[in-house]
Amino acid sequence: MVETMTAAVFKGAGTLTIEEVPVPEIKRPDDVLLRVDAASICGTDVHILEVPPGHPATEGAILGHEFVGEVVGRGDAVDHLQPGDKVVVDPNITCGTCLYCRQNKTNLCTNMTTLGIFIDGGFAPFCVAPASALHPYSATLPADKAVLAEPLSCVVNGAKKAAVVPGQSVVILGAGPIGQLFIEVLKANGAGTIVVSEPNPLRADTARKVDGVSIVSNETELAAELDNATGGGADLVVDAVGSLFGVALEHVNPGGTVLLFGMNETARSSVAQYWITRKEVRVLGTFISGGSFPETVRLLESGLVAPERIVTHRIGVKEIPDGIEMMRRKEAVKIVVTP
């Protein structure tokens, strides 16, 4: 008899169902079977379930691309991971052979697939993942903190590109989960003035828990706060929404950097291009983790960041559809699922 488990399965056209599915099996020599300790709901899950979809996904796939687990089985070729090891999962599986992989720019892989989006992921008690996607972490780190390693690694990748020097001023546009994690990482980088712009009260209150961060709710307040704090703009402006390039450009200092993180395929920003030239603004795009998982795990273990403050709800697999609806209505900042 095949063992089954309860999983959240994408059925296309805005539908996520809770189903009994077979427990996955190790098929390839480099496969690892994980017991999922924790997963979290991402804004991307919300986009996948929009009609029409804001992000593609494979019909029939178990969703959940942010998750951590314990090794319970391994293929014959895996000897560096043992049963009982705790691991965070890099859900983006790259090919290793395309032009970009060979240039060590794996986040630009042209054959990338993703656990929990295109193939089965972590919204279930068990998942099979290739050993190369797994990063061990100390068992002393709680699973509901380690689970934030995936979004945090994407933020670390962006922060590396922005290269904030201690004391520099920073504006973060949007305090969704990603904006919140930018607060953590840029503060650890030594940012001086940090101003966060967020109209949603729950998200603003969650950001307010961090010492020394100013929260504003609109652009007029942002301009006034910056005038007060820096006498001008900010050295770095992060668009953590994905449609605020024009706003970012207005508030960046001459010689400063605009970092575009938020993903919105349909957004079209109106931009006063003149200011990029005149202020010599550096404009940077950043996408997924780009090999930042190992240092992100060390960062979490170091205690230099406290991202768990963004977890507002904890649920089981059966409540995932409700959890996604809460995220859509912005009634939650981050929801952790314990399968």
Site for Zn ion (CB under 5 A): which residue of 23, 81, 98, 271? 98
Nearer to Zn ion, 48 or 109 (CB): 109
47 is annotated as an active-site residue: yes
Least Å distance, CB 42 to Zn ion, is 3
Residue 95, interface with Zn ion (CB under 5 A)? yes
What is the smallest separation between the CB atom of 234 and Zn ion, expressed in angstroms?
26
Q: Which is nearer to Zn ion, 103 or 140 (CB)?
A: 103
R_g of the chain computed on alpha carbons? 20
Nearest approach, Cβ of 16 to Zn ion (angstroms)? 15
For residues 289 and 154, the answer to whether their CB atoms sit within 8 Å is yes
CB 88, min distance to Zn ion, A: 13
6, amino acid identity: T
Residue 101 interacting with Zn ion (CB under 5 A): yes
Q: What is the DSSP code string of 44-98?
A: HHHHHTSSS-SS---TT-B---EEEEEEEEE-TT--S--TT-EEEE--EE--S-S
What string of H, E and C letters represents the secondary structure of 250-309?
Answer: HHEEEEEEEEECCCCCCCCCCCCCHHHHHCCCEEEECCCCCCCHHHHHHHHHHCCCCHHH
List the catalytic residue out of 6, 47, 58, 113: 47
336 interacts with Zn ion by CB under 5 A: no
Q: Considering only residues 181 through 220, tell me which ones interact with Zn ion, judged by CB under 5 A.
A: none
- Closest to Zn ion by CB, 15 or 111: 111
How buried is residue 212: exposed, middle or buried, by Cβ count under 10 Å (0-12/13-18/19+)?
exposed
**Interface of this chain with Zn ion, residues 22 to 51, rule: CB under 5 A:** 42, 44
CA dihedral for 292, 298, 302, 307, sign (positive or negative) = positive
Question: Shortest distance, CB of residue 130 to Zn ion, whole angstroms?
Answer: 14
**Closer to Zn ion by Cβ: residue 98 or 210:** 98
The nearest distance, CB 218 to Zn ion, in angstroms, is 27
Assess whether 296 carries a catalytic annotation.
no
Cis before residue 201, ω within 30 degrees of 0?
A: no
Number of residues that bind Zn ion (CB under 5 A): 8
Which residue is catalytic, options 4, 6, 44, 296? Answer: 44
Please tell me what DSSP assigns to residue 225.
H
Spatial contact of 223 and 252, defined as CB atoms under 8 Å apart: no
Q: Which of residues 108-137 bind Zn ion (CB under 5 A)?
A: 109, 111
Tell me if 142 sits within 8 A of 338, measured CB to CB.
no
- The region of 102-110, 161-169, 206-214, 254-262 touching Zn ion under the rule CB under 5 A is 102-110
Candidates 27-35, 95-103, 131-139, 157-165 — which segment interacts with Zn ion by CB under 5 A? Answer: 95-103
Shortest spacing between CB 93 and Zn ion, in angstroms: 10
Question: Per DSSP, what are the bridge partners of residue 135?
Answer: 88
Only one of the segments 89-97, 215-223, 303-311, 331-339 lies at the binding site for Zn ion (rule: CB under 5 A); that segment is 89-97
With contacts defined by CB under 5 A, name the span among 103-111, 182-190, 233-241, 310-318 that binds Zn ion. 103-111
Structure tokens at 91: 């859900």
Asked whether the beta carbons of 236 and 256 are under 8 A apart, the reply is yes
For Zn ion, give the closer residue by CB, 44 or 230: 44
Q: With beta carbons less than 8 A apart as the criterion, state whether 131 and 87 touch.
A: no
Which residue, 94 or 168, has its beta carbon nearer to Zn ion?
94
Q: Strand 170-173 vs strand 234-239: parallel, antiparallel, or unpaired?
A: parallel
Nearer to Zn ion, 256 or 262 (CB): 262
What residues make contact with Zn ion under the rule CB under 5 A?
42, 44, 94-95, 98, 101, 109, 111
Return the active site residues: 44, 47
